[in-house]
Amino acid sequence: MSKERQNILRACILTVLMAMPVAGICSASYYPWTDENDIGGTYEIKGREHAIYFDESEKAVQAKNDVTITNGPEADLENNNDTMSIISTNRADGNSFTFDMNGKNLTAGDYGSFINLTGGSNNKAEIVNAWNITGTTHKANLIYAVGSGHKISLDARNDIQLNKKRSDSPATLISIVGDNLFHLSAGRDVTMTNENPTNILNLKDGGKAKVQAGRDLLFNQANVGGYPIIAMSNDSSLEMISGNDIVFDNEGNGNIIYGKQSQLNIEAGRDIVYNHKHKKGSPVNSFASEMKARINAGHNIVINSIRSANLFKIVGNSSVEVVADNDVLFHITNLSSPPAIGVTNNSSFSLKGRDFFSNAQRTLWAGDKSTINIDVSHDIQFITPGIDVGTSMILANINGTVDVTADRDIILDASVAAPNVRADTKGQVNLVAGRDMILSTAGKDATNPRESNLYANDGTITAKVIDGTMSIANEGAVGAYANNSGSITLEGPVVMEVGNGAVATKDGAILFKGPLTLHGTATGLNADGGSVTLEGEAVMDTVDGAIAGNSGTILFKGPLTLRSTSTGLTADGGNITLDGEAVMDTADGAVATNGGTILFNGPLTLYSSDTALRTADGGVIDAAAADTDKYIEGNVVSNGGIVSLDLNTVGSYLTGTTTVSDGTDSTGMLNMTLGNGTVWNVAGDSSLTNLTNNGTVNMADSNRTGQQVTAKTLSGTGTLVMDLDWLSNQGTKGVTANSDYLTVTDSATGTQALVSDPTVMNLDKMGVNDRLYVAELNNSDAVLTSSIQQRNVNKGHLYDYIIGLTHETTGDTTDWYFGSVGSVESPIVPAADVQNRTLFDMATNMDTLNKRLGEARYADGQDAGMWTRLTYCHLGRDSYDGHSNRFELGYDRVKPGANDSTLRQGLSFSYLRDRTSFTEGQGKYKGYSGSFYQTWLGQKGHYLDVVGRIGRLNGEGTTRLINGEASKSSFGTWYQQASVEWGRKKALRDSWYIEPQSQLQYTHLNGTNYRASDGIGQNFDSVHSLIGRLGFRLGKDIDAQKSWYIKADILHEFAGNRTFDLTSIDGLERIHYDKTNHDTWYDVGAGITAELSHDRSLWFEFERTFNGSYGKDWELNAGMTWRFH
């Protein structure tokens, strides 16, 4: 038989065999083979026939070149679901078929199944060592296994491409049903394309598949229905591995991956990309019923979705783990409310990567005891333009938990009025950023909690920055809102740019564990039945600072710096506690009403343009902490509330008024304690309950406006500074226009030093019986003291009266006032003493022979002659100072006496002008005197000088009174005087001489009386004076005409008792003075004499007097004689 005929016969036999029924009775396998089981080339299967049907336990076939097996539409799925296959076995057990392609290409299709293992168990169909594998079908499953223990394996060194053409068939591209295994491995790409409304890969009832691509793994789903690209159920498992990318390109509206009660593992060497392109697409990844999935990319995971469907929907105790060595990127085109990752029903989701980016309106949602864990090494950025108001970016509810951790930054930015984070119904969200955290929304409504950045409603939110700042911003909404036992904890530095900063209601709790900087357009902190706690420093700039209501609490554990354009702190039935230093600049400082309390435990600096502290209706403000500085500017008001203010460190102060009154249902109380070195600067009429003043209550102001302070009780040892003005008060028991007043209604104890400006009190205008009232104290044993005293003139009287602080008690009331507290002698009295003493000193001035004539007394000759003398004396007495000038002119004659003695007799006349000044005034005096003297000169230098004198003294006195006026007087009297002086000039060797002297002088000063210009009468009694003097001169004759000397004397007054009387203008006041001047004093001096010619001589002498009543007296005396021949 020829070769051609043999081939024709072989083809006929093959056609007949392949036309036999699948369940035919033929026991032999049939293949498109050549001899020795080697096949190659193109095989076209006609009709409804299988290409390769194997029923042997172990059958191997090789390809000697590329193999193409085609069939027609007849092989496709019939109405009874029967299909023809390229490789198939049916209801067999333990059969095996291995097709070794020897590096050749295999192409199968385009109709029917490529590989179909239907029924039976433990059958195996393997295609190995191919270069490319391409399989295509229309209606049927391209690869199908049902039964138990089957294995289908395709292995290509290059690409594998599996396709399902459009036929509207529900059969999946690949379906593995039951405990069967499908394995697909390509050295380069695996591409699966489906144009039908069905799955690309369906695993169920324990089906298993492993798909490997050395490079890319591609899934392409046409827009033909709502079937998942991959469907898994009932204990199935799938493992997909690529060296480079895994890409899901889905134009249909079904899931990309759907799985329940199965296991999924996806690993890409580089990127995993989901393209979900249908505008009504279902969740991208949907896992349910204890599904376990792990998705791992060596580079990025990118999910692009047209519709805002779930990118991961995880329910029913399922768990998903997503890992990307680089970034995870979610991008949604048409935004709406479904979460990108939604996890419920006790399920879990975890994501690890470098960066995580999402533009979803809501990226994370964990509910119903489920968990989400996001952990990235760099940044998390959820930035969305958003469209759905109220849908949070992250949500945990119904015991769900979301943990989000970034080693660097977390950014949650929504351009709509929706929360960044929301936790409901025992849900919990935990955010941790290694560096900065930015939470930003476009929320504007501060009354709508669903526009808050952080919203915890019976849920828990924690946010922490490790080494950065947490920024929370919106356009007027609430930054953090905790409601219905919800809690929010923020750890690390927090900066808020919001409407309301933090709001806690209905047992909600908000905790700041680090410093807070808050700029708000409404209220900074609001605890309305909830609690807000700040453990670090808080710096706030808001309209209202902090409000606690409905038993809510706000606790500042660290320092607070608050600037508020309205009320700084408000406790309206709630409680605010400040443990650290508080610095506040507000309109109203702190307000407690309806039983609310505000407690300042640390230093307080409060600048208020209106009310600094105010309570009403049972509210309490306690600013009495010990050893804390307090600087308060503003008024303090208690209207049925309680205010306790204790200024207890040096420098602390309050500047403002205090007002206490009873409320409708409560008694007002305002207690203030001032410690040493503290000040209350009273800024207007004030009232308070208990005032303990150990510091200073300063009621004075620059405008000298009268103010009244009224207290129930007063105690302590302090200072009262008051504006007081007699011209304003005029004896009024109360405040007047320019004079302050203090009233204590119940009891007063202690001591208060009253201070005022005496220069404006007009005390000098008060009469002796006038009263300037300053305080009314009831049931008082308190003492007011003041150093202020005013000495006023009682004109025409001998005594000035003293205006000072004193009191008068009538019944239980003690009035304190400035009035007459005593009297002192008028300056007229000591002035009269000075005037009397001046007259006495002028009359008793002791003259000597040497002062009168000098050495001229020893001149030779018997001629008569005249002499003159000028004397200047500086007066320095203990009671007055002054100076005097005396001119004296004399004439004498010399007669010889017995035993070579001479007798000089003469007359002289003197004129004296004297000016004095003393503390109380000044005086001018004139004196006139005439003298007769007789001087005996013995031959041995002895002399005896006897002088008789009579004179007249006139004076004008001016006494300065306390009020600046002057009392003037004019007076005069006569005096008589006699003096005896003895001495001897004894010559010594070398022209030296010594002259001992003694003298006794008696003076009688007549009495006088007169009235001063203010009507005070003065009566000077006559005075007797007896002065003794002992002294010497020691000198030397320079030559026959000149000599000099020194002198010294001791003097003593043996009489000198001065008495005088002063009488007031009305005669009711009289002062009698009796002055005893038994005084001892000394003088020293020096002089020089010169004989100018035998008939003229000149002498000078200087004398200094001291001791006794003499202080700084000194005298310069000069004289000259002329002799007539």
CA dihedral in degrees (400, 404, 410, 412; nearest 10)? -20
Mean pLDDT of the chain: 91
pLDDT of 25 strictly over 70: no
Is residue 857 very low, low, confident or very high in pLDDT (cuts 50, 70, 90)? low
> Could you give the CA distance from residue 648 to residue 731 in angstroms, rounded to a whole number?
36
How confident is the model over 76-84, as a mean pLDDT? Answer: 70
Say what the pLDDT of residue 36 is.
Answer: 57
Say what the pLDDT of residue 855 is.
Answer: 58
Q: Contact at 8 Å (CB) between 1084 and 1113? A: no
> Could you give the CA distance from residue 70 to residue 79 in angstroms, rounded to a whole number?
22
Amino acid identity of residue 148, one-letter, is S
Say what the pLDDT of residue 766 is.
Answer: 93
Say what the pLDDT of residue 4 is.
Answer: 44
> Could you give the CA distance from residue 901 to residue 897 in angstroms, rounded to a whole number?
5
More confident position, 851 or 649: 649
How confident is the model over 409-422, as a mean pLDDT? Answer: 95
Say what the pLDDT of residue 207 is.
Answer: 96
Say what the pLDDT of residue 5 is.
Answer: 40
Say what the pLDDT of residue 1111 is.
Answer: 62
- pLDDT, tens digit, for every residue of 884-935? 998 989 998 988 888 888 998 999 999 999 999 988 899 999 999 999 999 9
**Is 826-1123 CATH 2.40.128.130?**
yes
Say what the pLDDT of residue 48 is.
Answer: 77
703-727 burial code (b ≥16 CB/10 A, e <16): ebbbbbbbbbbbbbbbbbbbbbbbe
pTM: 0.74
Is residue 2 very low, low, confident or very high in pLDDT (cuts 50, 70, 90)? very low
- H helix and E strand count, the chain: 4, 96
346-365 burial code (b ≥16 CB/10 A, e <16): bbbbbbbbbbbbbbbbbbbb
- pLDDT, tens digit, for every residue of 531-561? 999 999 999 999 999 999 999 999 999 999 9
How confident is the model over 131-152, as a mean pLDDT? Answer: 95
E strand segments, 105-173: 106-109, 113-121, 124-130, 133-137, 143-156, 160-164
Question: What are the respective helix, strand and coil percentages of the chain, to the nearest 5?
Answer: 5, 60, 35
**Tokens in use for 509?**
């709790």
Say what the pLDDT of residue 820 is.
Answer: 94
Q: Pick from 806, 814, 753: which is nearest to 779 by CA?
A: 814
- Under 8 Å CB-to-CB from 95, ≥6 apart: which residues? 54, 55, 56, 57, 59, 89, 120, 123, 124
E strand segments, 319-390: 319-324, 327-334, 339-343, 348-353, 355-358, 362-367, 371-376, 380-384
Q: Contact at 8 Å (CB) between 211 and 246? A: no
Query: Which residues sit opposite 143 in a β-bridge?
Result: 115, 174
Integer angstrom CA distances of residue 707 from 64, 439, 713, 747: 120, 54, 18, 21
> Could you give the CA distance from residue 260 to residue 282 in angstroms, rounded to a whole number?
16
User: Among the ranges 8-12, 56-60, 124-128, 1062-1066, which has the highest mean pLDDT value?
Assistant: 124-128
Is residue 858 very low, low, confident or very high in pLDDT (cuts 50, 70, 90)? low
Minimum mean pLDDT range among 608-617, 962-971, 1074-1083:
1074-1083
- pLDDT, tens digit, for every residue of 944-990? 999 999 999 999 999 998 888 899 999 999 999 999 999 999 989 98
E strand segments, 675-810: 679-682, 686-693, 696-698, 708-715, 717-721, 741-748, 751-755, 772-778, 783-785, 790-792, 799-810
Is residue 807 very low, low, confident or very high in pLDDT (cuts 50, 70, 90)? very high
860-892 burial code (b ≥16 CB/10 A, e <16): eeeeebebebebebebbbebbbbebebebebeb
Pairing assessment for the beta strands 902-918 and 881-896 based on DSSP bridges? antiparallel
- pLDDT, tens digit, for every residue of 244-268? 999 999 998 899 999 999 999 999 9
| Alpha carbon 507 to chain centroid, angstroms | 29
> Could you give the CA distance from residue 619 to residue 665 in angstroms, rounded to a whole number?
12
Say what the pLDDT of residue 863 is.
Answer: 62
pLDDT of 998 strictly over 90: yes
Is residue 1101 very low, low, confident or very high in pLDDT (cuts 50, 70, 90)? confident
The domain spans of the chain are: 340-494, 543-698, 702-714+725-787+795-825, 826-1123
> Could you give the CA distance from residue 457 to residue 435 in angstroms, rounded to a whole number?
28
Query: Which residues sit opposite 904 in a β-bridge?
Result: 894, 935
- Burial (Cβ within 10 Å: 0-12, 13-18, ≥19) of residue 135: buried
pLDDT of 806 strictly over 50: yes
How confident is the model over 348-361, as a mean pLDDT? Answer: 96
Q: Contact at 8 Å (CB) between 756 and 704? A: no
Say what the pLDDT of residue 642 is.
Answer: 97
Say what the pLDDT of residue 79 is.
Answer: 59
More confident position, 851 or 522: 522
- pLDDT, tens digit, for every residue of 13-24? 343 333 333 322
Say what the pLDDT of residue 10 is.
Answer: 41
- Burial (Cβ within 10 Å: 0-12, 13-18, ≥19) of residue 899: exposed
**Tokens in use for 72?**
């027609």
How confident is the model over 769-788, as a mean pLDDT? Answer: 96
pLDDT of 743 strictly over 90: yes
pLDDT of 83 strictly over 60: yes
Residue written as token pair 């909690």: 449
Instruction: Kindly state the helix (H) or strand (E) to which residue 839 belongs, with its residue range.
Output: helix 828-843
Please provide the DSSP assignment of 1057-1100 as one string. Answer: -EEEEEE-TTS--EEEEEE----EEEEEEEEEEEEEETTEEEEE
pLDDT of 27 strictly over 80: no
> Could you give the CA distance from residue 318 to residue 372 in angstroms, rounded to a whole number?
12
How confident is the model over 177-185, as a mean pLDDT? Answer: 97
> What percentage of residues in the chain have a pLDDT greater than 70?
95
How confident is the model over 58-63, as a mean pLDDT? Answer: 90
Is residue 35 very low, low, confident or very high in pLDDT (cuts 50, 70, 90)? very low
- pLDDT, tens digit, for every residue of 867-886? 888 888 888 877 888 899 98
Instruction: Kindly state the helix (H) or strand (E) to which residue 841 belongs, with its residue range.
Output: helix 828-843
How many CB atoms neighbour CB 26 within 10 A? 11
- pLDDT, tens digit, for every residue of 656-703? 999 999 877 778 999 999 999 999 999 999 999 999 999 999 999 888
- pLDDT, tens digit, for every residue of 334-354? 988 899 999 999 999 999 999
Q: Pick from 354, 318, 355: which is nearest to 341 by CA?
A: 318
Instruction: Kindly state the helix (H) or strand (E) to which residue 1034 belongs, with its residue range.
Output: strand 1023-1037
**Tokens in use for 999?**
């003298």
How confident is the model over 1090-1108, as a mean pLDDT? Answer: 81
User: Among the ranges 26-40, 493-507, 659-673, 834-848, which has the highest mean pLDDT value?
Assistant: 493-507
Is residue 321 very low, low, confident or very high in pLDDT (cuts 50, 70, 90)? very high
Q: Is 853 helix (H, G, I), strand (E, B) or coil?
A: helix
Backbone angles phi, psi at 36, to 5 degrees: 60, 30
Query: Which residues sit opposite 27 in a β-bridge?
Result: none
Residues in the chain, overall count: 1125
pLDDT of 204 strictly over 90: yes
Integer angstrom CA distances of residue 549 from 163, 211, 613, 693, 888: 69, 63, 17, 34, 104
pLDDT of 451 strictly over 80: yes
